Amino acid sequence: MNDEWIVFDTNIWIFGLRKQSDCYQLLQNLHKLYVKTPYQIFLELQANLIPEELKRFFRLVHLNPNHTELSWEKAKPEMITKYRKLGCKLGDAAIATHLEMMGIKTLVSENRDFFEEVKGLPFRVLRAQEALQKFGIGE
C-alpha cells in the first residue's frame, strides 16, 4: 500500500465519476491512498461540477480527513514561468508548480501527452491502471 502523498489530475476525478473502470477504482480506494488536491485542480473540478455535486465532493474529502487534503495556495508565478520555459502550457505549468510546491512525486493522470516532451520534471506521471498496480489496489 502507498504511504506517499500523490495528486489525482482532474481527469481521474471526472472519468471516475463517469465510472470509467480504473479511475472509479482509484476513487473507491481513496481511503487507502494519500491524495492532495491543489488549487488549480480544485478550480477545474469546480468548473465541471454543479454546487450540489461540489457539496458531495467536499463530503467525500471530509469523510477521509487523514487521507485527502485540499490546498488553497496559488501557484507561484516565478515557478510557472520556469515550467513555461521548459515547454509546458500555462495550465500544465500551474499543475507542475503546485506539485513542486507541495513536494509531490507522483501525479496520476489519464492525459497521455501530459509532460511527455518536458524533461527534468521533479515528479512522475502514472496512468490510472499503472497507479492501481503500483499501489497494490484492485482485484
Partner 1 sequence: MTYQEALIQELGSLPPALLQEALDFVLFLKIKARTPEEQLSSKIREFQFQEELQALSQTYQMRLSQEGKLEQSAEEVMAALKQSREEIAANEYRL
Q: List contacts with partner 1 (CB under 8 A).
A: 10-11, 14-20, 24, 27-28, 30-31, 40, 43-44, 47-50, 52-53, 56-57, 59-60, 63-64, 74-75, 77, 80-81, 84, 89-95, 110-111
Q: How far is the CB of 5 from partner 1 (least distance, A)?
A: 19
Q: How far is the CB of 90 from partner 1 (least distance, A)?
A: 4
Q: What are phi and psi of 33, to 5 degrees?
A: -115, 175
To partner 1, the closest distance from the beta carbon of 16 in angstroms equals: 8
Q: 14 or 126: whose CB is closer to partner 1? A: 14
Which H or E run contains 35?
A: strand 34-37
Q: How far is the CB of 77 from partner 1 (least distance, A)?
A: 6
52 vs 120, which CB is nearer to partner 1?
Answer: 52
CA distances from 125 to 8, 10, 111, 137 (A): 10, 13, 9, 17
Q: How far apart are CA 123 and CA 135, in angstroms?
A: 16
Q: How many C-beta atoms lie closer than 10 Å to residue 8's C-beta?
A: 25
